[in-house]
């Protein structure tokens, strides 16, 4: 499926044009850097997401499995999506993850990415989006709630992070 731009938007703070498209092979280095800069012990139980190689990244995140957003020539963030299981009975659901480069956070890019995913999901007949977020990440929880996600479950004391037990919150929204 070719996607040049699902949703376009404006960077609220600086009034820059935000573009979106499906990820491509050429995006790997930028997406690996975003993962390196974004994920840490405050927002993932893995403490840090590190890719051993470009090949490892591309096996886990093949082209087309993410929508990337950018301003000008810069890739500023992505939203990844995949069915939660390989079961045909579960194909109507997409599980998502999102990361925005720290230099571009709080500029509307996450919202543009979410709108692009909602449009793509609707076109593919997806009915439900789901995600997991740590209870220790109130900023992400608030963002997801502002995008229409609600809590559908909670794995209490699921992770031991920074000397404390942290709940894993399961959220969802209808497409």
pLDDT digits (tens, 9 = 90+) for 71-107: 999 999 999 999 999 999 999 999 999 999 999 999 9
Q: What is the pLDDT of residue 14?
A: 54
Percent of the chain with pLDDT over 90: 74
Burial of 168 (0-12, 13-18, 19+ CB in 10 A): middle
User: Which residues, in sequence order, are CB contacts of 57 under 8 Å at separation 6+?
Assistant: 28, 31, 32, 51
For residues 34 and 170, what is the distance between their CA atoms, to the nearest angstrom?
24
Taking the whole predicted model, whether its pTM rises above 0.95 is answered as no
Q: Give the confidence band of 21 by pLDDT, cuts at 50, 70, 90.
A: very high
Q: Could you tell me the end-to-end alpha-carbon distance of the chain, in angstroms, rounded to an integer?
A: 20
| Residue 51, SS3 per DSSP | coil
pLDDT for res 148:
98
- When the pLDDT of each residue in the chain is averaged and rounded to a whole number, the result is 89
């Amino acid at each position: 499926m070719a996607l040049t731009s699902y949703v376009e938007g404006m960077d609220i703070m600086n009034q820059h044009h935000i573009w979106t498209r499906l990820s491509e092979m050429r995006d790997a280095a930028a997406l690996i850097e975003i993962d390196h800069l974004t994920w840490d012990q405050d927002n993932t139980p893995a403490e840090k997401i590190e890719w051993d190689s470009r090949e490892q990244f591309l096996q886990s995140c093949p082209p087309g499995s993410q929508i990337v957003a950018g301003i000008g020539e810069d890739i500023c963030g992505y939203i990844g999506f995949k069915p939660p299981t390989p079961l045909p009975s579960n194909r109507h659901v997409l599980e998502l993850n999102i990361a925005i480069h720290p230099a571009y956070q709080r500029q509307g890019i996450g919202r543009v990415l979410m709108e692009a995913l909602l449009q793509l999901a609707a076109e593919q007949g997806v009915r439900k989006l789901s995600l997991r977020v740590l209870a220790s990440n109130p900023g992400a929880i608030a963002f997801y709630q502002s995008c229409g996600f609600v809590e559908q479950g909670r794995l209490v004391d699921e992770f031991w992070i920074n000397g404390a037990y942290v709940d894993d919150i399961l959220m969802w929204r209808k497409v």
